[in-house]
Each structure stands twice: as C-alpha cells, then as structure tokens.
A and B are shown apart, each in its own frame.
Chain A
Amino acid sequence: MSLVSFVHMRNHASDALRDAIESSMNLINFSFEKTVNKIVIKPNMCYYYHPSTGQVTDPWFVGVLIDVLRKNFGEACKIFIAESDATAMKCKHVFGMLGYDELAKEKSVELTNLSEAESRIVEIEAGNEQFKFHVPELFYESDLVVNVPKLKYMSEVKVTCALKNMFGCNAYANKSEYHKALNEAIVGINKLVRTGLVVIDGLIVSGRCTKRLGLVMSSEDPVAADAAASDLMGINPKYVRQIVLASNEGVGKRYFTPVGDFSFFKKEFPKRTSKDKFRSAVAAAYLRAFQ
C-alpha cells in the first residue's frame, strides 16, 4: 500500500504553507537524497478560473513548493512549470491571467507551453483502447515530475485529481477528441509520463461548494493519491474507473495508507449530497435526450 499524507495548513501565510508542504513530504518519507537536476512541475491550469474558486492550482502554492524543492535538491536544480493548450484554454492567456508569468519571473523558473515544445508521438494501449499522445521531450529529459493537482468532482470521470492532471502533459491541444474514452486516455498518458511526486493543492477545494480547507496532500503514487482524494470526497475509489484501471495497468496502487489528519479532512470536505448527485444525473440525462 502506498502512503498518502494529509496535512492542515494552520494559517494563510507562506511560512505555514512551506511547513505544511515539507511536513506532508516527510510523512510519506519522500527522499531528497537522489540526484535531481531537472524538475517539471505540472499544476492544474484547466481554464481561466481564479485560484480562489478551487478549480486551478494556486501559483502561490507552486511558488512555495519551488522553494521547498530548491532547498532540498539544491539551488542549481532547473525547474520548469509546464502546461499545455486545451480545447478551450490557451496557455498564452492562462499563464498571465492566473499569475504564472509573474511567478516564473519571481522564482526564475521556466514556464513552458507544452503544445509549443518539442514532442514525440507515442502510441499506447489502456483499457483495450488505443491512443496516440504527443509526449513532450521535456518529460524524457527530466529527473522528477511533480504533479500538483486540485481535487474536484467531474461528471465524466467522477473524480479529477492527480491522474487527470497528467492529461495536460499531452501536447496535443484538441483534447476533447479523447473524451470518448476519457478514463482510458487518462490512464494511457499516466503510463507514458510517470509522476514522481504528487503534492495536492487542497488549500481551497471545489466540492459541492467552494471551501477553504487548508489541505496539503502528498504521495509518490498518483493512483493512491487519487484513491485517497476520492475517499475524502465521499466516493468509493473502487467505483472510479480511472483509479481501478490505472491500478490494474501498473500506474500505481489503489490501496493507500493515510498518514496525518485524514479523518478531519474527510469530515470537513464539502461532499456532494445524494440530492446533488440525483439532480446532476437528471440534468445529464435531460441533456443527453434533448440537446
């Protein structure tokens, strides 16, 4: 079973966040002993939402994480923040709007639009589906991929967290083409681009409503991280196809050992109620039938 840590950031200050991130990494026994020269950080910048909505990774969180990584891996370590264009979102706008342009300057890291970077087309099978992904060379050259997702509900795949965040590592912009077999596609890209460390920005979460939760989660296993996130959000991971499939296909383990304040966050997370789920299901059925 993989370790997944849950740490509460006590107040909204950079020192408190740094302590929370370090503590969450220590709880999973993350080793800084290895030689790491090049790190790619993959935040969630899915759309032009403000970080205060809980939909996208807060650049402040990434900034403090960069400090922690530099402190432990050394100042010479080269860090990239990477995201790719999507069907509805373009990096050239989102980097500025969300404040990542400013962060990259402040922290002297490279901000990369993966859709404009060199990539190779790789075929892969996942869940009996065949996919072609445009995998950026940056990932082949890096020593560590740090996955910094949000945890959210998403109707197509139930839960979106670490596994789904890696979907943005596919440089191909028209990602809606993969939505016919989204669970399988998510697993496919995770087989190609391996997460070395997951640090979840749960400072503000978007559940049935937005809530300032002050949560930092870490794991070296993206499947375990998602299973833990799913459990936290009130969904049994065994009913989340991408988690089960990813586990079956060797991306990670879906059984996790929680360390830290798991029960506190499980109680505090703004879970969807049965009424919410019923309404969503009826609205979705209506849309399928009439739109």
Chain B
Amino acid sequence: MGIIGLGYKGKTHLHNALRLEGAKVIGVADTSEKALSYARKLGVRSVYKNYEDLIKSNQLDAVVISLPNFLHLESATKAAEAGKDILLEKPLARNVAEGEKILACVENSCVRLMMGYDMRFNPLFREIKNKIDDGYFGDIQIAGATNVSAGPFSSRSDRAGPIPVSPWWFDKDLSGGGVLLDLGSHLVDFLCWYFGKADSVKSYLGYMFNLDMEDTATCVLVFEGGPIATFNIGWFSRDFLLSVQICGTAKNLSIQVAPLRTWERVGKDLKSKLGAPNCDPFYLELEYFVKSLQRDENPKPSCEDGLICQKLIASAYKNSSKKSEIH
C-alpha cells in the first residue's frame, strides 16, 4: 500500500501500516520534505513529492489518502482510475457534488473505497453497537453524542505545545465547511451506523472565533422508526471530550471515552511498545481495510456511506440557524 499525505492522520496511518501483518508500505507521498524525511527514517524507501508518481507504481494495490479536503476529489479519482483500492480519510469531499463524482469514479473503475470513520473501530463503540443490535437497550428513544476539542487549532495531545495550523483550515472554499463537516461527519456516520437511515436533520451553528465557518454546532437527527438523536460538536475547547448517551425503554447508557489523562496515555504507549494487542481504532480500521481487500470483500463504511453522510451534512447546513438568530 501507499500513504498519500503525511499530516497528523497520515503519519498515524503510516505507523500502523508499518506494523501491520500482511501489508507492506511501498511508498509515501507528501509535498513536505520534512514529512518525507520522517518517512525515510521509519524505513520507507520510496518517497514522492507528487502522489501521482506513487500511484503509478504497479506494486501498489491500495492507497490511504489523508489529504486536505480540497484534494479529496482529485486524489481519490486519480487513485481509482489507476485501479487502486482506497482508504479515504473523512469527509468524503467538500460537498455532495464532489462526493457524487468520487462515487461515480469508484464504481466505474471497479475499485473499493472505504471511508476513514475511525469511531466505528473503537472497541467500546463496537460493543455498544452489538448491544443495540441485540436489543439490550429496548426501544431506543433518545441518543446523543458529543465531540468537542480544539479541532485543528491546537496540539494533538497535552504533551506538545501548539502546532501550526495548515492555511486551508481557515479557508472555507478549501475546507468545504467548519466543525459540522469536520467533526460532524464522524458523528453523523456514527449515529447512522447505530440507528440506520435518518429522516431529517436540523442544526444550530455558532461562530465564537469569527471565522467564516462555524466552530460550534448542535444537530438533531431523526431516525426512521428509531430515536431522535442530538449531537454536539465544537472546535472551541482546549479540552477534549468524546461521549455517547443512549436512552432506551430497557436500559440507559452514558459513557465518556476521552480525555485520556497523561498517565493513561503513557500507559497506553508503554503497552503498545511492549507488544500488547493493539486496541487503537486507527490500527483496527487499517487492519480491517487490508483484511477486507485480501478476502476480496467490500469494506464498510463504504463510499456510499460517505455520500449519505455528506448529504445529511449538506441538509444540516441548509436547515441551520445561527446561534445569534435564536431568540
């Protein structure tokens, strides 16, 4: 496989790919020389400034694309046309029109595209999914999820200082949207994975940081024959919170997955260094992707799932009220 884009997520995928049995990293591509030399240090021999040179390689079966949103359409279609299977970081694209083009290209090229919605691979969330399917909660009437952090505007952990923010995050034309597209796409996919098809969506957006895109959002999703779900997302907090609530006729549940304390992070790192089974959702996601390709199966979440999510987010933008407009 090849890794296209070596930002934070791309590096995570590269580390995991190098540890994965049954897969080999053929090469990586990034425009940054610093990122490429980082990959070289990890033992990657073929590094490219232009990802098109990487996808030309006949040795390559699949690519992991972790590029900025405005490059998803171009990179995914070029990889598909080159016959490569794809793991594409969320969101599918900047908008529905681009998403539809990607889907059409993937179908025409007869390749498989899996969306990088890592929440589906969190062992705890998978356990809850099994319980939902088994009827453990009874009829679920209300569900909720929260994902609040500094988004692109801070360090990825409390270990490091602030990190530079790529300029495309500040440009709505390049990103396609704010927190609703960024973190919202995670939670929309997550809730659809749990509860199926959503009938309607409405959102309330906040603009605390005076950007031309929202940094805060609360959305209400109504599921066909299922619960009313709300989710809250934000780029405004130095703290990180990921939580899920489920309220059913038989049982209720409220869990908080993050934040990990420094001690827990150190422990997690040490465990991984000592070779303990890897429970990292990104690792499990990549492992599943590779295994699906080896078994000649279509991995989920698929490109269609990505498009469903993209359409719901577009509806959420359409049916949105600004916080300042609510009286």
Chain A residues, CB < 8 A from B164: 87-89
Asked if residues B162 and A287 are in contact (CB atoms below 8 Å), the reply is no
Cα of A151 to Cα of B88 in the assembled complex, Å = 43
Q: Known contacts being A96-B210, A97-B211, is A89 close to B262, with CB within 8 Å? A: no
Type the 1/0 row for B152-169, where 1 means its CB is closer than 8 Å to any CB of A: 011000010111110000
Chain A proximity of B3: nearest CB distance (Å): 21
Asked if residues A287 and B211 are in contact (CB atoms below 8 Å), the reply is no
Q: Known contacts being A87-B164, A88-B164, A283-B159, is A48 close to B238, with CB within 8 Å? A: no
Q: Does A279 contact B (CB under 8 A)?
A: yes
User: Could you tell me how many residues of chain B have their Cβ less than 8 Å away from some Cβ of chain A?
Assistant: 21
Cα of A89 to Cα of B263 in the assembled complex, Å = 29
Chain A proximity of B275: nearest CB distance (Å): 15
Asked if residues A102 and B210 are in contact (CB atoms below 8 Å), the reply is yes
In chain B, what residue has the closest Cβ to A291? Answer: B159
Asked if residues A89 and B162 are in contact (CB atoms below 8 Å), the reply is yes
Of A46, A49, A53, chain B has the most CB atoms within 10 Å of the CB of A49
Chain B proximity of A45: nearest CB distance (Å): 12
Q: Does B133 contact A (CB under 8 A)?
A: no
Q: Known contacts being A47-B154, A48-B154, A48-B165, is A290 close to B269, with CB within 8 Å? A: yes
Asked if residues B236 and A93 are in contact (CB atoms below 8 Å), the reply is no
Cα of A276 to Cα of B266 in the assembled complex, Å = 15
Asked if residues A48 and B209 are in contact (CB atoms below 8 Å), the reply is yes
Q: Does A50 contact B (CB under 8 A)?
A: yes
Chain A residues, CB < 8 A from B153: 47-49
Q: Does B208 contact A (CB under 8 A)?
A: yes
Chain B residues, CB < 8 A from A99: 210
Q: Does B170 contact A (CB under 8 A)?
A: yes
Q: Known contacts being A55-B238, A279-B262, A279-B263, is A93 close to B170, with CB within 8 Å? A: yes
Chain B residues, CB < 8 A from A48: 150, 153-154, 162, 165, 209
**B211 contacts which of A55, A89, A96 (Cβ < 8 Å)?**
A96
Chain A proximity of B75: nearest CB distance (Å): 26
Asked if residues A283 and B262 are in contact (CB atoms below 8 Å), the reply is yes
Chain A residues, CB < 8 A from B165: 48, 88, 90, 93
Mostly helix, strand, loop or mixed at chain B's interface?
A: loop
Q: Does A286 contact B (CB under 8 A)?
A: yes
Chain A proximity of B316: nearest CB distance (Å): 23
Chain B proximity of A289: nearest CB distance (Å): 11
Chain B proximity of A175: nearest CB distance (Å): 11
Chain A residues, CB < 8 A from B159: 283, 287, 291
Chain A proximity of B268: nearest CB distance (Å): 12
In chain A, what residue has the closest Cβ to B209? Answer: A97
Asked if residues A286 and B266 are in contact (CB atoms below 8 Å), the reply is yes
Asked if residues A50 and B236 are in contact (CB atoms below 8 Å), the reply is yes
Interface residues of B in 170-188 (CB under 8 A from A): 170
Of B209, B236, B263, chain A has the most CB atoms within 10 Å of the CB of B209
Cα of A46 to Cα of B170 in the assembled complex, Å = 17
Cα of A193 to Cα of B43 in the assembled complex, Å = 47
Asked if residues A46 and B162 are in contact (CB atoms below 8 Å), the reply is yes
Asked if residues A88 and B211 are in contact (CB atoms below 8 Å), the reply is no
User: Could you tell me how many residues of chain A have their Cβ less than 8 Å away from some Cβ of chain B?
Assistant: 24
In chain B, what residue has the closest Cβ to A48? Answer: B153
Interface residues of A in 24-71 (CB under 8 A from B): 46-50, 53, 55
Chain A proximity of B161: nearest CB distance (Å): 7
Chain B residues, CB < 8 A from A47: 153-154, 162
Chain A proximity of B152: nearest CB distance (Å): 9
Cα of A90 to Cα of B153 in the assembled complex, Å = 11
Chain B residues, CB < 8 A from A290: 269, 273
In chain A, what residue has the closest Cβ to B236? Answer: A50
In chain A, what residue has the closest Cβ to B235? Answer: A48
Of A55, A93, A99, chain B has the most CB atoms within 10 Å of the CB of A93
Cα of A283 to Cα of B269 in the assembled complex, Å = 12
Chain A residues, CB < 8 A from B269: 290
Chain A residues, CB < 8 A from B162: 46-48, 88-89
Chain B residues, CB < 8 A from A286: 266
Type the 1/0 row for A87-130, where 1 means its CB is closer than 8 Å to any CB of B: 11110010011010110000000000000000000000000000
Cα of A179 to Cα of B236 in the assembled complex, Å = 27
Type the 1/0 row for A268-289, where 1 means its CB is closer than 8 Å to any CB of B: 0000000000010011001100
Cα of A49 to Cα of B266 in the assembled complex, Å = 26
Chain A residues, CB < 8 A from B262: 279, 283
Cα of A287 to Cα of B154 in the assembled complex, Å = 19
Type the 1/0 row for B70-84, where 1 means its CB is closer than 8 Å to any CB of A: 000000000000000
Cα of A63 to Cα of B176 in the assembled complex, Å = 34
Cα of A50 to Cα of B236 in the assembled complex, Å = 7
Chain B proximity of A280: nearest CB distance (Å): 8
Cα of A46 to Cα of B162 in the assembled complex, Å = 9
Chain A residues, CB < 8 A from B163: 88
Cα of A96 to Cα of B215 in the assembled complex, Å = 14
Chain B proximity of A205: nearest CB distance (Å): 14
Question: Can you spell out 19 A-B residue pairs with CB atoms less than 8 angstroms apart?
Answer: A46-B162, A47-B162, A48-B150, A48-B153, A48-B154, A48-B162, A49-B153, A49-B154, A50-B208, A50-B209, A53-B238, A93-B165, A102-B210, A279-B263, A283-B159, A283-B262, A287-B159, A290-B269, A290-B273
Given A47-B153, A48-B153, A53-B238, 16 additional A-B pairs, CB 8 A: A46-B162, A48-B162, A48-B209, A49-B154, A50-B208, A50-B236, A88-B161, A88-B164, A88-B165, A89-B164, A93-B165, A96-B210, A97-B209, A99-B210, A279-B262, A287-B159
Q: Across chains A and B, which 6 residue pairs bring their CB atoms closest together, nearest first?
A: A48-B153, A88-B162, A47-B162, A97-B209, A88-B164, A283-B262
